[in-house]
């Protein structure tokens, strides 16, 4: 979804990928940002927090009226219907991020 948003073009691809991973881990309660992830990504959890919040906001308030090809594609069971996953409440996300 970030490919369709100019605001994310200035982010480095590695930081964007790491932030997406942290958001996914948080959404699915699969643990936080481990020292191993920090070592191999080069980013601490605190480095990723602002971008994780922006990504969750994008998921929460995504426009459905146009450019819905990505959402349609990832709503298919072949891609495990990841586009249908409910975004986190912003307050719960904030709490989860402060604990990791």
pTM: 0.86
Tokens of 20: 């997406």
Q: Cα–Cα distance between 11 and 20 in angstroms, integer?
A: 12
Place of tokens 């971008």: 51
- In the chain, what percentage of residues exceed pLDDT 90? 58
Question: pLDDT for 32-79, tens place per residue?
Answer: 899 999 999 999 999 999 999 999 998 888 766 666 888 888 899 999
In sequence order, the 6+-apart residues with CB closer than 8 A to the CB of 91 are none
Counted residue by residue, the chain has a size of 100
Amino acid 44: pLDDT = 96
Say if residues 57 and 17 touch (Cβ distance below 8 Å): no
Q: How many domains does the structure of the chain reveal?
A: 1
Residue 55 structural domain: 2-99
30 pLDDT tier (thresholds 50, 70, 90) = very high
- Average the pLDDT over 86-92 and give the result: 92
CATH code where residue 50 lies: 1.10.472.10
């Amino acid at each position: 979804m970030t490919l369709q948003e100019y605001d994310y073009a200035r982010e480095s691809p590695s930081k964007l990928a790491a932030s997406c991973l942290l958001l996914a881990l948080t959404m699915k309660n699969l643990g936080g940002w481990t020292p191993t992830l920090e070592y191999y990504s080069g980013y601490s959890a605190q480095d990723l927090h602002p971008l994780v919040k922006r990504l969750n906001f994008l998921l929460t308030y995504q426009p459905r009226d146009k450019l819905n090809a990505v959402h349609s594609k990832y709503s298919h069971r072949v891609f495990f219907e990841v586009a249908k996953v409910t975004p986190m409440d912003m307050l719960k996300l904030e709490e989860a991020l402060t604990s990791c």
